[in-house]
Amino acid sequence: MGNVCCLLDACTVINLIHIDEDDFLLKKIKSLELKKSKPIEILIDELVFKEIQVNVNDRLKSGLSKFSDSSRIGGIRKEIDQKLSFFRGKKNRSAEMISELGNEYYEQIKNQVGYTKKINGELCSTAYALYLSRLDEKKVFFYTDDYPAKDFFSGYFEFQQIGQIKDTVDFLILIYWLDDDFNKSQLNRVLSELYSQYAIEVALLKERLVKFHNEKVNGAFIKSKKEIAFKLKDLINKLQKLELQNIQSYFEYFEVNKTKCKELFEIIKQYYSVFQIESNNQSETLLEKIKRTNRLIEAQRIYKWNDLIAS
């Protein structure tokens, strides 16, 4: 096992696939895995990999104007498939865990953490992380950009001393300082690409919601669904101002009320990643973190081994 055990969530892998140009990141990860000193080991839970397969192409179909030329989507899809095969080999040990601990292991962890949602990638990864930490007597880092899940499971990681829950920004910085040839402008570029991935989703969601509002929210709509109309206006306003705190509650509201306005929930569902980028009112969103990190990198050096011995 590597020095740093990196367990990746679906959103992190999907982000890595979409921000990577010319397999730059994949090559970096691969070379670190092959290094004699084994600085990292990348692992993915089985169910998480299935979630990746289901959702990895969502960003290609969600845009109004993002991928305007459909003939080019085929090429992008092919590239994604190639990158996906790189991560396919990482889902290597959770089957082994189930054979040792049995299928009820997930239920056991679910009850212990008090998770009310159905068993999903984040819960399975938490269970897997606990198993790996005990089996290999190591700290495990679980990388996810699902901030509400991060918030929920962090306490459990701490109490059980499994390790930590981090996000894609942290993962990119880890790869950066481990790799001597990964320079600051390249780090800046991948962070800017990560920012763009989420900011575009926010912009596209806003575009779709404004269109829906302008076309559908009229007097008749207000008479029958006033609360939905006002909630929609609120959400558009929040996206406009980029006030993403508590945004998850809007997803939950439209999900609960989906029978009243199915069309609206269908739009919102397509942009689920937007509702994952904040955890609570007090902490920063993923977008804020990327901006802050970019500023910090300019002001303060992140040391690599060679920087340390040179200084």
Q: Tell which positions 181-220 bind another protein, by CB under 8 A.
A: 188-189, 192-193, 195-196, 199-200, 202-204, 213-215, 218-220
Contact in structure between 123 and 109 (CB atoms under 8 Å): yes
Residue 260's contacts (CB-CB under 8 Å, 6 or more residues apart) are 225, 228
- For another protein, give the closer residue by CB, 31 or 283: 283
Task: Return the residue matching tokens 């300082």.
Answer: 177
Minimum CB separation of residue 215 from another protein in Å reads 6
Q: Within 10 Å of residue 231's Cβ, how many Cβ atoms? A: 18
- For another protein, give the closer residue by CB, 101 or 236: 236
List Cα–Cα distances, 87 to 36, 49, 235, 256, 303, in angstroms: 21, 8, 35, 35, 28
Question: DSSP states of 201-226 as a string?
Answer: HHHHHHHHHHHHHHHH-SHHHHHHHH
Coil, strand, or helix at residue 161? coil
The β-bridge relationship of strands 140-143 and 40-43 is unpaired
- Diameter of the chain by CA atoms? 71
- For another protein, give the closer residue by CB, 93 or 206: 206
Residue ranges of E strands in the chain: 4-8, 40-43, 140-143, 163-166
Q: Tell which positions 211-270 bind another protein, by CB under 8 A.
A: 213-215, 218-220, 222-223, 226, 229-230, 233-234, 237, 240-243
Q: Tell which positions 45-104 bind another protein, by CB under 8 A.
A: 63, 65-69, 71-72, 76
Minimum CB separation of residue 38 from another protein in Å reads 32
Q: Which two tokens stand for residue 25?
A: 């990141």
Q: How many residues of this chain bind another protein (CB under 8 A)?
A: 38
Please tell me the distance from the alpha carbon of residue 138 to that of residue 151, in angstroms, as a whole number.
22
Minimum CB separation of residue 190 from another protein in Å reads 9
Minimum CB separation of residue 263 from another protein in Å reads 16
Minimum CB separation of residue 296 from another protein in Å reads 16
Q: Tell which positions 129-188 bind another protein, by CB under 8 A.
A: 188
- For another protein, give the closer residue by CB, 90 or 225: 225
- For another protein, give the closer residue by CB, 243 or 255: 243
- For another protein, give the closer residue by CB, 18 or 90: 18
The phi, psi pair for 274, rounded to 5°, reads: -65, -35
Minimum CB separation of residue 197 from another protein in Å reads 8
**What does the binding site for another protein look like in residue numbers (CB under 8 A)?**
63, 65-69, 71-72, 76, 188-189, 192-193, 195-196, 199-200, 202-204, 213-215, 218-220, 222-223, 226, 229-230, 233-234, 237, 240-243
